[in-house]
Structure 1
């Protein structure tokens, strides 16, 4: 299935249209007023989809050819995080490559872990971003056109950093990428920054975008840290950034989903930001797992003509789940329930 192309892709399978009519979709449950609702058959990738695999989660999905490709955080029984490619015709039934991604130009160090990837289609290719181990966690990058051969780029930042998310187009001639400067653990920092690059190699002009919440703003659901999630979606109202917010409770961290709208030309400028989560751990597969109480959004596929959003998220650091929203409804909810700080 990975070799098949369609009118949505160019000769390399890179998406060239805003229409994605074949993304997964289920209507909002009858009687529900939720702005984001769960796929009824969650999780779409279960706890152990293959022998010897203990978890597939916090993983990136993108349209490719007639179907979808993805780069997945996969952990076997050694629990060491590695990147694996996956293929799907419908975005629901996934075939995962048994061997991890290999970089054609990079002598791999088996001690260098890789987790929480994102994939951005830009400039006729796919750029993979992930948290890589290089004297501590930092933002690693690679490029591919076919999800078979990957060329490693230089790491974007010094340690310690997480949640690198690249915008889907240049803005005023420059690439932009979110990150969250951090430490080697979980974490005295917790704010989202934006960095600029002319070439995906040299990064600078680091700007603060959003701070974590707390008592001073009455935002406990995101009081410990926040981090960018899926690739931002361009709308007439601004860049829609779906993100995670974390609270530290007496029983550990709780990761929830929120949303923000950023200025189209100055994406470090926040226009609106949800003052409440739009999805929080409640389902069994979100509450119970290797790391309980985690909803970690990573991919948002949008069919622009219908406004349908399919949001992939990691659940309890164990499995991959799916939720849905309507783009215009989520934008309006963010504007109507906003606290910018």
Structure 2
């Protein structure tokens, strides 16, 4: 494997950023205050999309991607599609979480024999102890949850797939729970799944997975809501709060014009995340902006990552819009927790 240097000539810079990032303060946090008069608990970045659909030559979409705090800035793993529309993963770098430098070449994995048929999409990234773990929906005997780990976002070591086919939306918790690694996922099929519930599984070593338990089901018809009736799936890495694990997720409704993906939230018990304490009975963000309603797959808000600033409680949620570009929305963790508790229906 020949890792690509983030500063090499093969790197391209998204959204017109330059190599001289003058004026950017190290440890900057991506944030905009709530617009005056806006009462929404979650609000959009005014400059969305932060990464447009064509950030690199021969890339026609970059979305449903994951970012994490790394060093004095941020690193991430991004889903891209080129003229073949075959999904691949690329590493990326940012000083402020908004302007991103994306590697031109896809990620290569050590101890792994490449196969041109093995697609990779919808990654998540989390730091657990001394490693950054990457999970994604992989085509190595998939679709199912593929895993890798890295310490520098240049060298990536593949781990065994977590589950049998078919599965999507593998989301690891940021620490061990009862001395076990824990992952959320959504058992699926091999197509554009028209169903899906969220499960949780655990592992002693990030290799052997078991203790699969239901967390929560799709639905809502019986309690007067439709926005998540078709399928649901975990989004960013859960955030630990005094009230429980804050899990942002996507909920899907099937309409006469196709699926519509929206953002919701739930709070899971700290010591047993299979127990749902609260669950939003209305969406937090739904496709309304032009970049969410128009694109390769219209009407999609798909959250995959969140950056949390613990001191202030600020939260920047990264989401894919219309399966085309990458966007950010903001909220405050304590406000989101209180909103979830006040607008909850658990079913």
- Fold shared per TM-score above 0.5: yes
Preserved CA contact (<8 Å) 1:21 1:303 = no
The one of 51, 74, 77 aligned to 1:71: 77
Alpha-carbon contact 1:134-1:159 (below 8 Å) kept = no
- Equivalent position of 1:257 in the other structure: 263
CA distance in 2, matches of 1:179, 1:22: 32
What's the counterpart of residue 155 of structure 1?
Answer: 161
- The whole-number CA distance in structure 1 between the counterparts of 2:100 and 2:333 is 25
Q: Deviations over 1:211-238 (max 9, x none)?
A: 0013222220000000000000000000
Q: Note if 1:316 corresponds to 2:322.
A: yes
Gaps of 5+ in 1: 4-19
2:227 aligned counterpart, secondary structure: helix
| Inter-CA distance 298–71: structure 2 relative to 1 (3 Å threshold) | same
Could you list the runs of 5+ residues in structure 2 that have no partner in the other structure?
Answer: 8-25
Within 2, Cα distance between the matches of 1:51 and 1:144? 26
Alpha-carbon separation, structure 2, partners of 1:176 and 1:219: 30
SS, match of residue 143 in structure 1: strand
Cα shift at 1:21:
6.0
Q: After superposition, where does 1:83-162 map in structure 2 within 5 Å? A: 83-162=89-168
Query: What is the total number of aligned residue pairs between the two structures?
Result: 325
User: In the TM superposition, what whole-angstrom CA distance separates every residue of 1:284-318 from its partner, at most 9, and x where no partner exists?
Assistant: 00000000000000111110110000000000000
* CA shift in 2, pair 1:220/1:273, >3 Å: same
Aligned counterpart for 1:28 among listed residues 28, 31, 34:
34
Q: What is the CA–CA distance in structure 2 between the aligned matches of 1:301 and 1:214, rounded to whole Å?
A: 29
Residue in 2 that maps onto 1:201: 207
TM-score, normalised by the number of residues in structure 1: 0.93
Secondary structure of 1:53 counterpart: coil
After TM superposition, list the pairs within 5 Å mapping 1:1-341 onto structure 2.
22-341=28-347
TM-score by length of 2: 0.92
How far, CA to CA, are the matches of 1:227 and 1:23 in structure 2? 27
Q: Distance in 1 between matches of 2:101 and 2:31?
A: 20
> Following TM superposition, by how much is the alpha carbon of 1:123 offset from its aligned partner in structure 2, in angstroms?
1.4
Could you report, residue by residue, the CA deviation over 1:73-111 in whole angstroms, capped at 9, with x for unpaired residues?
011111100000011111111111011010111011110
